[in-house]
Structure 1
Amino acid sequence: MATSLHSLNSTLFKSLASSSNKSSSSLSPSPVFRLNSTSAAFNFKPLTSSSSSSAIITRAVASSSESGESHTRETFHGLCFVLKDNIDTDQIIPAEYGTLIPSIPEDRQKLGSFALNGLPKLYSERFVVPGEMKSKYSVIIGGDNFGCGSSREHAPVCLGAAGAKAVVAESYARIFFRNCVATGEIFPLESEVRICDECKTGDVVTVEHKEDGSSLLINHTTRKEYNLKPLGDAGPVIDAGGIFAYARKAGMIPASSSA
């Protein structure tokens, strides 16, 4: 019998939670997800000439060697799309599109074209231009409680299908964060302060991943840098391309098993 996403999700997250250290706060059952309240304080400084502004690098999946695991993450560079607090799953992907099946290529494209199509009218910019299948925005910046609402996995899938690479928010709803990890569609990164109040839609930004697992958001338009919290044990799962890919790599399910 094929392993279900729900059962594998529960098994893997229990395993990660029981074996992780301080970074396991990223698996907290609290209604609003916060990565690690003890992380280094947020800071910003003027952009220097040594700061990287490299273009998007092809995503490198986690690879192993004789000396152990190594994980290489993508540097994301492009335009940002800025949102505020309590962006729920109906705003990310309206419920009427919940019947679309992400594993079907045509349905996945449709999900991408409808991404963030449920935003209220106060957001004058469209994440995906009507008639287009992809967004010109690579990074989404949000406020508090991003992804609240239903448990539909369509929310992170549609953002990934539209071409978004990462969300940088003040905090996340637990289910949305878990679905980001489970699907491997998008990196959910957490900021120390309300970056959404300091950035504007259309700003040019870069998200760089550091060797210690933390990340850095550089806003080239405002010339400010923002430290982001580490993903902890959830990072390697996203690196692998989602929970099934990670489970196969870890030997939790047979390599030949279908998702």
Structure 2
Amino acid sequence: MKACGKVHKYGDNVDTDVIIPARYLNTANMEELAQHCMEDIDIDFAKNVKKGDIMVAKANFGCGSSREHAPASIKASGISCVIAKSFARIFYRNAINIGLPIIECEDAAEKIEAGDEVEIDFDTGVITNKTKGESYQGQSFPEFLIKIINSNGLLNSLKEN
């Protein structure tokens, strides 16, 4: 399983209130939430993101409240994977539960820049920055996580068994 796309880059401590502001939580419509994803720190994110793009951030991505809307709005926006130096634990769990691939990799988080073209091999964990000709070793995904992601989330994966 692979992902390839243009990078949208963010810094440290991007919290769930910035990922999807609370003022939009009165809807369960994922397309509507995607239109407001990241707008408080990147007003043009929704109009610039393309299906398959990749989000890269530094440390403690997804900190703050435990709202599931945060990873769901990222996924609905078209982002195929989030790479960060580290993730808040509840965000990490929520992302896996909805089938949003996430990878912790300090080198990639530090060296990849906005606009770079990046390819990720989930089986090996290798992240290739095609723009810079560099590779970084992230964690590979175990088979059960690949099944959850391919099933579009934990609940769908359980239903398929």
TM-score computed with the length of structure 1 as normaliser: 0.57
Please list every run of 5 or more consecutive structure 2 residues that lacks an aligned counterpart in the other structure. none
Partner residue, 2:45: 127
Aligned twin of 2:157:
246
**Residue of structure 1 equivalent to 2:122:** 209
Percent of aligned positions that are identical:
30
Conservation of the 8 A alpha-carbon contact between 1:89 and 1:149: yes
Per residue, is there more helix in 1 or in 2? 2
1:149 is aligned to 2:54: no
Q: Does structure 2 conserve the Cα–Cα contact (< 8 Å) formed by 1:143 and 1:195?
A: no
In structure 1, the residue corresponding to 2:45 is in which secondary structure? coil
Structural RMSD (CA): 1.8
Equivalent of residue 183 in structure 1, options 98, 103, 114: 98
**Contact between 1:143 and 1:194, CA under 8 Å: does it hold in 2?**
no
**Stretch deviating more after TM superposition (196-205 or 139-148):** 196-205
Paired with 2:152 and 2:58, the residues of 1 have a C-alpha distance of 26
Of 25, 38, 55 in structure 2, the residue corresponding to residue 116 of structure 1 is: 38
Match of 1:90 in 2: 17
Q: Does structure 2 retain, via aligned residues, the 8 Å contact 1:181–1:242?
A: yes
Aligned to 2:138: 228
Q: For residue 128 of structure 1, what is the amino acid of its counterpart?
A: A
C-alpha distance after superposition, 1:206-238 (max 9, x if no partner) = 11222xxx3211111111001111334544322
Q: Once superposed, which parts of structure 1, at least 4 consecutive aligned residues long, lie more than 6 Å away?
A: none
Give, in whole Å, the separation in 1 of the partners of 2:127 and 2:113.
Answer: 14
Q: Which aligned pairs between 1:57-96 and structure 2 lie closer than 5 A?
A: 73=1, 75-96=2-23
Local SS of the residue matching 1:141: strand
Tell me if structure 2 keeps the 8 A contact 1:144–1:169: yes
Distance in 2 of aligned mates of 1:179 and 1:223: 32
Once the two structures are superposed, residues 125-144 of structure 1 have per-residue CA deviations (whole angstroms, 9 ceiling, x without a partner) of 73222xxxx71371001111
How far is the alpha carbon of 1:194 from its aligned partner?
A: 4.0
Given candidates 85, 97, 106, the residue that maps to 1:170 is 85
